[in-house]
């Protein structure tokens, strides 16, 4: 167990891809004006731990002395998440907030005891799962407390129970998604939840952030799968989830889901599960222009025949995908598309899951007649193969001086085009020469998500400030047109924009719930609730 935790930690920030291929680097230089210089990482500073001896002794009494860690590697391993700014900070740019200690409880009861101990000893608590937040959700901020610790849930890694009749599994919060799937596999079951952070993210993190996976069109968002939650709070334990649906007052589960560790620590989640599909069939298509592609996806969503995975790239993302896929015969592809009247190719990847190949094939037939040009299964499979690679490639990009980040939103169908234009314009205005790509990856009857990827030459003087200006411009552009986050959550980065979305009463309500469950304010300071109201 200890070995697994240490391994996870060592492994966590290791880039798993090599340097950027030459053709990709050449393309990037052409498109963004990137300089030739390499920008190697510097080692960040790690201050001495501010945790008092009394607090440390009290925490050790709860979890055992071996599970209160104050060594440099343990603390640095839980210093923030995986946003571009997080990566910059760990490369020595700007100030990195490092927790004073890492505490690893083994049970929901120990989590509750840790919270009570922290409240007594004036210590802030940052719940820590896979550390994949890209919005500052796990930044080690201490607020007005004397110290801050990362509460790492890695030891809460059990499949508590499976109800195969009701198709409900109770999973502990610290389970990384692949491990949860490994435990469900012998039962023939799956959550179907595969966000891009899949390889590292945890069940608790999915619930705490209202995660949506790449197959959300088929399996639903994570909150749609949650049948019950168990939450440790400083004032005691809270369990919810008596039935699949209820009219016994407001759905308080939906208050816990998305609470980002500021109301309590999710320790267990009862999740709706489904039979593992025997077959996953992915196909690539091209459609002429993003507007037409959006109409196709909307029609499938409103007919309620969406593929489980539905991902429509805009013209820019399609161009970049083709440009970077060096092995592809792009000239031949262009001729093929031109012959089919496609002037502005937009990639559409669709994936159908099924119990049999025949079932997946039958489901795939719904797109016939939608005006799509098929590119075959190889392209679909190529997307599937690389589906988790995005985060891994960022270190290689940072090494060569690239500014690379993503952001996302969602809106109703009638505003998709306007929202996409507004965000693109804001980013281009802020960054100058840059590549802004966009895709729809989650579709609903009434609207869709928009996911943006930005590539620019990094400002060597103030790289953090460069991105923060662009991000602020994008967030301002989103306000009034869509949600500030469709599936990345609020964290520190979106907190200033939350009130515009949920209103003054919404912020006041969150603050009052926090005061009720966390009266001394030890839980994840500075996240979710706008500053001054937490």
Query: Considering only CA atoms, which of 251, 249, 477 is closest in space to residue 241?
Result: 251
Q: Is 129 annotated as belonging to a binding site?
A: yes
Question: d(Cα 506, Cα 516) in Å, to the nearest integer?
Answer: 16
In angstroms, what is the minimal distance from the CB of 91 to its own copies? 27
Q: Is 489 in the site for its own copies (CB under 8 A)?
A: yes
Q: Is 263 annotated as belonging to a binding site?
A: yes
Question: d(Cα 423, Cα 486) in Å, to the nearest integer?
Answer: 14
Ranges within 294-313 binding its own copies (CB under 8 A): 298, 302
Q: Is 22 in the site for its own copies (CB under 8 A)?
A: no
| Active-site annotation holds for 219 | no
**Which of 198, 219, 451, 497 is an active site residue?**
451
Q: Which stretch binds its own copies (CB under 8 A): 115-123, 174-182, 458-466, 482-490?
A: 482-490
* DSSP code at position 443: B
Exposed, middle or buried: residue 512 (CB in 10 Å: 0-12, 13-18, 19+)? exposed
Exposed, middle or buried: residue 143 (CB in 10 Å: 0-12, 13-18, 19+)? middle
Q: Which stretch binds its own copies (CB under 8 A): 14-22, 72-80, 207-215, 325-333?
A: 207-215
Selected binder of its own copies within 132, 133, 191, 233 (CB under 8 A): 233
Query: Considering only CA atoms, which of 512, 294, 243 is closest in space to residue 419?
Result: 294
Ranges within 71-130 binding its own copies (CB under 8 A): none
Q: Which stretch binds its own copies (CB under 8 A): 143-151, 238-246, 331-339, 381-389?
A: 238-246
Ranges within 377-406 binding its own copies (CB under 8 A): none
Q: Is 264 annotated as belonging to a binding site?
A: yes
Q: Is 432 annotated as belonging to a binding site?
A: no
Q: Is the dihedral of CA 465, 471, 473, 475 positive or negative?
A: negative
Q: Which stretch binds its own copies (CB under 8 A): 55-63, 91-99, 344-352, 437-445?
A: 437-445
Q: Is 218 annotated as belonging to a binding site?
A: no
Q: Is 248 in the site for its own copies (CB under 8 A)?
A: yes
Do the bridges between strand 434-440 and strand 309-313 make them parallel or antiparallel, or are there none, so unpaired? antiparallel
Q: Is 266 annotated as belonging to a binding site?
A: yes
Q: Is 412 in the site for its own copies (CB under 8 A)?
A: yes
Q: Is 337 in the site for its own copies (CB under 8 A)?
A: no
Radius of gyration for the chain, computed over Cα atoms and rounded to the nearest angstrom: 23
Ranges within 156-175 binding its own copies (CB under 8 A): 163, 165-168
Binding-site size for its own copies (CB under 8 A) equals 82
Ranges within 501-520 binding its own copies (CB under 8 A): 501-506, 508-510, 512-513, 515-517
Q: Is 322 in the site for its own copies (CB under 8 A)?
A: no
- Give, for 472, the enclosing helix (H) or strand (E): helix 463-478
Q: Is 471 in the site for its own copies (CB under 8 A)?
A: no
Selected binder of its own copies within 394, 488, 493, 523 (CB under 8 A): 488
Query: Considering only CA atoms, which of 235, 238, 234, 236 is closest in space to residue 256?
Result: 238
Assess contact for 470 and 433: CB atoms under 8 A: no
Q: Is 256 in the site for its own copies (CB under 8 A)?
A: yes
Q: HEC string of 184-231?
A: HHHHCEECCCCCCCCCCCEHHHHHHHCCCCCCHHHHCCHHHHEEEEEE
Ranges within 259-288 binding its own copies (CB under 8 A): 259-260, 272, 274
**Helix 416-431 with 463-478: angle, nearest 10 deg:** 160
**CB closer to its own copies out of 146 and 472:** 472
Selected binder of its own copies within 16, 246, 356, 421 (CB under 8 A): 246
Question: d(Cα 398, Cα 85) in Å, to the nearest integer?
Answer: 11
Contacts of 437 (CB under 8 A, 6+ apart): 313, 314, 316, 317, 320, 452, 453, 454, 455
Question: d(Cα 169, Cα 421) in Å, to the nearest integer?
Answer: 42
Selected binder of its own copies within 89, 116, 142, 221 (CB under 8 A): 221
- Give, for 448, the enclosing helix (H) or strand (E): strand 447-457
Q: Is 234 annotated as belonging to a binding site?
A: no
**CB closer to its own copies out of 162 and 427:** 162
Buried (b) or exposed (e) across 273-301, using 16+ Cβ within 10 A?
bbebbeebbbbbbbbbebebbbebbbebb
User: Mask 441-460, x = binds its own copies (CB under 8 A)?
Assistant: -x-xxxxxx-----------
**CB closer to its own copies out of 21 and 236:** 236
Residue ranges of the binding site for substrate: 394
Tell me the catalytic residues. 451
């Amino acid at each position: 167990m200890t070995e697994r935790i240490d391994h996870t930690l060592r492994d966590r920030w290791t880039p798993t891809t090599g340097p950027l291929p030459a053709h990709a680097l050449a393309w990037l230089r052409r498109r963004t004006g990137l300089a030739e210089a390499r920008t190697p990482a510097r080692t960040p500073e790690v201050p001495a731990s501010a945790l008092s001896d009394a607090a440390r002794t009290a925490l050790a009494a709860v979890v055992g002395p071996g599970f209160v860690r104050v060594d440099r590697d343990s603390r640095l391993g839980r210093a923030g998440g995986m946003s571009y700014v997080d990566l910059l900070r760990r490369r020595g740019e700007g100030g990195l907030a490092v927790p004073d200690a890492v505490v690893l409880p083994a049970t929901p009861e120990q989590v509750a005891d840790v919270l009570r101990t922290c409240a007594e000893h004036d210590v802030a608590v940052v719940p820590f799962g896979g550390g994949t937040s890209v919005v500052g959700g796990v930044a080690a901020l201490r607020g007005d407390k004397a110290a801050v610790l990362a509460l790492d849930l890695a030891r809460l890694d059990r499949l508590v129970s499976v109800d195969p009749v009701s198709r409900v599994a109770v999973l502990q919060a610290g389970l990384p998604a692949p491990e949860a799937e490994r435990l469900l596999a012998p039962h023939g079951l799956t959550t179907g939840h595969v966000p891009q952070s899949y390889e590292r993210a945890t069940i608790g993190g999915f619930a705490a952030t209202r995660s949506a996976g790449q197959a959300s069109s088929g399996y639903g968002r994570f909150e749609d799968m949650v049948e019950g939650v168990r939450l440790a709070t400083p004032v005691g334990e809270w369990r919810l989830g008596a039935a699949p649906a209820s009219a016994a007052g407001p759905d308080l589960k939906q208050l816990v889901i998305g609470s980002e560790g500021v109301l309590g620590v999710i320790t267990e989640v009862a999740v709706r599960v489904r039979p593992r599909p025997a077959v996953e069939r992915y196909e690539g298509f091209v459609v002429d222009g993003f507007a037409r592609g959006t109409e196709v996806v909307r029609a499938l969503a409103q007919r309620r025949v969406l593929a489980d995975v539905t991902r429509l790239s805009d013209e820019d993302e399609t161009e970049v995908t083709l440009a970077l896929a060096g092995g592809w015969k792009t000239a031949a592809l262009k001729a093929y598309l031109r012959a089919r009247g496609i002037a502005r190719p937009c990639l559409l990847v669709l994936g159908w899951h099924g119990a049999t190949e025949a079932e997946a094939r039958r489901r795939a037939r719904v797109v016939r007649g939608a005006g799509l040009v098929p590119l075959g299964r190889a392209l679909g499979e190529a997307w599937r193969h690389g589906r988790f690679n995005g985060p891994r490639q960022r270190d290689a990009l940072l090494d060569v001086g690239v500014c690379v980040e993503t952001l996302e939103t969602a809106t109703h169908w009638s505003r998709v085009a306007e929202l996409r234009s507004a965000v693109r314009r804001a980013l281009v205005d802020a960054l100058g020469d840059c590549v802004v790509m966009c895709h729809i990856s989650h579709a609903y009857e009434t609207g869709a998500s928009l996911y943006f990827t930005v590539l620019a030459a990094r400002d060597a003087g103030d790289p953090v400030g460069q991105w923060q200006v662009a991000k602020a411009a994008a967030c301002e552009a989103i306000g009034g047109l869509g949600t500030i986050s469709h599936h990345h959550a609020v964290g520190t980065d979106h907190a200033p924009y939350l009130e515009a979305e949920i209103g003054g009463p919404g912020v006041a309500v969150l603050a009052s719930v926090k005061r009720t469950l966390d009266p001394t304010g030890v839980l994840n300071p500075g996240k979710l609730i706008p500053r001054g109201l937490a």
